Structure 1
Amino acid sequence: MNAPDVLPFWAEALTAILLVLSSLFALTGAVGLLRMKDFFQRMHPPALASTIGAWCVALASIVYFSALKASPVIHAWLIPVLLAITVPVTTLLLARTGLFRQRMAGDDVPPEVSNGQHDGN
């Protein structure tokens, strides 16, 4: 039987700290989601918390597996990079949808932004 690989203490400690930090970001996002009053305020905390939390988990994965294999393992960065690209796009689409729904309901919302073209009036 092969002996199990043993990680150095610093790698285990750093991995644990990063995972706990990630969970704290997730908790912060959840609390922010509950405490905010309207839809537009509720969008920001979970988007930030999920992105930063994903970076912490990816970094913990990189530290753990790099220490385990004794060589750099960086393919875990792909997940937070894709999140960093897609989360702002999703947040923007949700904001535009929320604004459209409030306009259709007749709520008092900011006017539409013109694209700089005039209709000749």
Structure 2
Amino acid sequence: MFVLEKERLVKAWPAVVRLPVDGGEVIEEKITLDFIVLSGSDALNVVTGGADALKKVVTGWSNITDENNNPLIVNDNNKDALFGNQFFIIAAVKAYQQAIHGLSVKSGEDS
């Protein structure tokens, strides 16, 4: 049965951060994100509203470390740092778009 919800917490949604390296190559770092999927126009506002709008709905993450390879704990300072990084923002926006459009990452519905 479909349950009409104003928002839905989604945990461990896969995302890929793509980082440019020498020679025109790209490396892919797999992370997961926890976020609140809003309904209706609120969800679209998150995607079109930039980093600040997306920052409000991301509640957690995994597979992200600092420069010393220590796990990046979830707190406001680390959230500010992540949302100051364009590569992370691109990955987070794509992951959120997949979730709000009902695209299953595991089944290969990546478009």
Provide the TM-score with structure 1 as the length reference: 0.26
Where is the helix percentage greater, Structure 1 or Structure 2?
1
